[in-house]
Amino acid sequence: MKENRIYNFNAGPAALPLCVLEEIQDSFLNFRGSGMSVTELSHRSKWFDDIINDAVDRTRRILNLGDKFHVLFIQGGASLQFAMVPMNLLHAGQSADYINTGTWSQNAIKEARLLGKSIKVAASSEDKDFTYIPKNFSFTPDARYAHLTSNNTIKGTQWASFPDAGNIPLVADMSSDIFSKPMDMKPFGLIYAGAQKNLGIAGVCMVIIRKDLLENIPATLPSMLKYSTYASSNSMYNTPPCFAIYATQLVLKWLEETVGGLDKMAELNRKKAQTLYRVIDSGGFYRGTAEADSRSRMNVTFRLPNETLESLFVKEALKNGMEGLTGHRSVGGCRASIYNPTTVQAVEGLADFMKTFASANG
């Protein structure tokens, strides 16, 4: 399988660990002696029970969740959660605070307001085109929750530490940096993450919700839009996205057993990001787009002297075995997404290419 593989810097769907791909390959036609592909297993079978339960157990261990949280697997990606969160947690007469740090935060705010919910923007970095993470917040004392996006893939910013909202539970879209570093779950009531960036393949969203937040979910919500439906059925009220959950389980296994947990993962991610930012900050050819203290360790965004050179950079990178370096269509420029599975070797290869390209075109 290693032949003809390139360095994958796509923002999502993104790179997977090679060992995960190889295990999927080995089990694709005959999963654990079942005589069936993993894609053919019944979700009511013991084989799939073992898969989903292991994914939940590993998530609990890696994040030290204890018994206060449910781990759920829901279809619809993070975008569905923009609506499910306020539908489930915000009742008549209640309001929630949102921190606006870019496109995905804006989409979450939009969906909540489409539902007629009372939303207050407690902080925003829109004044500087979302190039930084806010440091000053104005939380509403009786807010039901405070929502944030932990890593902003388009603008390349990331929360280094989370805000203190007092007794207000934090709700976070962690699609692009979940499991990238240790975190304290105590301030959080709910986190959610589309798997296709840092956790697995497209098709499933992991939701981790504090159990007490399930107590007042409106009875009038459709069954498939209630968190309680998934919590009471181990995410198998209907046929779940079995293959996507299987891929997530293997990535969690890799993170726990091969990498060695979140401390080790954070160390690798720090090294990868520093390798690229050092190149960006040297020589003046490249320019980072995020303020230094808000830079993402997952999505490194940068510009070259002009768009012609940016286009050439992306084309030459592909010729040299590096894919996915075009910036988001809404902002242009270049972006290297270096999620957990992206290897140090891949990042060092990109850094060397960037130096060579700058020397040839500077």
Q: Is residue 353 part of a domain?
A: yes
DSSP of 10-55: -SSS----HHHHHHHHHHSSSGGGSSS-GGG--TTSHHHHHHHHHH
Among residues 97, 117, 159, 197, which one is catalytic? 197
Q: Is residue 8 part of a domain?
A: no
Confidence of residue 1 (pLDDT cuts 50, 70, 90): very low
One-letter amino acid identity for 224?
A: M
Question: Which pLDDT does position 202 carry in this prediction?
Answer: 97
Tokens, residue 31: 């999963």
**Number of domains the chain contains:** 2
pLDDT tens per residue across span 239-286? 999 999 999 999 999 999 999 999 999 999 999 999 999 999 998 899
Residues 299 and 151 in one domain: no
Q: Is residue 4 part of a domain?
A: no
Q: In the chain, what is the greatest distance between 2 CA atoms, to the nearest angstrom?
A: 64
Q: pTM for this structure?
A: 0.97
Whether 104 sits among the annotated catalytic residues: the reply is yes
74: left (phi over 0), alpha (psi -120 to 50) or beta: beta
Residues 116 and 184 in one domain: yes
DSSP of 202-251: TT-EEEEEEGGGGTT--TTS-GGG-HHHHHHTTT-SS---HHHHHHHHHH
Residues 52 and 111 in one domain: yes
Residues 267 and 229 in one domain: no
Question: Rounded mean pLDDT of 294-304?
Answer: 98
Question: Which pLDDT does position 204 carry in this prediction?
Answer: 98
Boundary residue ending a domain (208, 233, 258): 258
Residues 59 and 130 in one domain: yes
Q: Which of 5, 18, 327, 16 has its CA nearest to residue 155? A: 327
pLDDT tens per residue across span 153-164? 999 999 999 999
Question: Which pLDDT does position 278 carry in this prediction?
Answer: 98
Q: Of 1-10, 36-45, 81-90, 204-213, where does mean pLDDT reach its minimum?
A: 1-10
Question: Which pLDDT does position 283 carry in this prediction?
Answer: 82
Residues 226 and 291 in one domain: no
Q: Is residue 35 part of a domain?
A: yes
**Which alpha helices (DSSP H) does 97-233 contain, by range?**
103-114, 227-232
Residues 299 and 283 in one domain: yes
Q: How far apart are CA 169 and CA 280, in angstroms?
A: 37
**What residues form DSSP beta bridges with 147?**
98, 171
Residues 289 and 250 in one domain: no
242-253 helix and 46-63 helix, angle to the nearest 10 degrees: 40
How far from the centroid of its chain's Cα atoms is residue 71's Cα?
16
One-letter amino acid identity for 242?
A: C
What is residue 152's three-state secondary structure?
strand
pLDDT tens per residue across span 97-112? 999 999 999 999 999 9
pLDDT tens per residue across span 70-90? 999 999 999 999 999 999 999
Residues 316 and 299 in one domain: yes
Confidence of residue 4 (pLDDT cuts 50, 70, 90): confident
How far from the centroid of its chain's Cα atoms is residue 57's Cα?
20
Q: What is the CATH number of the domain that holds 293?
A: 3.90.1150.10
Confidence of residue 329 (pLDDT cuts 50, 70, 90): very high
Give me the chain's average pLDDT, please: 97
What is residue 71's three-state secondary structure?
strand
Q: Is residue 15 part of a domain?
A: no
Q: Give the domain range for residue 298.
A: 261-361
pLDDT tens per residue across span 35-64? 999 999 999 999 999 999 999 999 999 999
Boundary residue ending a domain (241, 258, 275): 258
Question: Which pLDDT does position 3 carry in this prediction?
Answer: 62
Whether 197 sits among the annotated catalytic residues: the reply is yes
Q: Is residue 12 part of a domain?
A: no
Among residues 97, 159, 173, 254, which one is catalytic? 173
Q: How far apart are CA 204 and CA 35, in angstroms?
A: 25
Whether the bond into 13 is cis, omega within 30 of 0? yes
**pLDDT for residue 2 is more than 60:** no
Residues 247 and 337 in one domain: no
Boundary residue ending a domain (258, 286, 301): 258
Residues 230 and 304 in one domain: no
**What residues form DSSP beta bridges with 171?**
147, 190
Q: Is residue 7 part of a domain?
A: no
Q: Is residue 80 part of a domain?
A: yes
Residues 281 and 149 in one domain: no
Q: What is the CATH number of the domain that holds 96?
A: 3.40.640.10
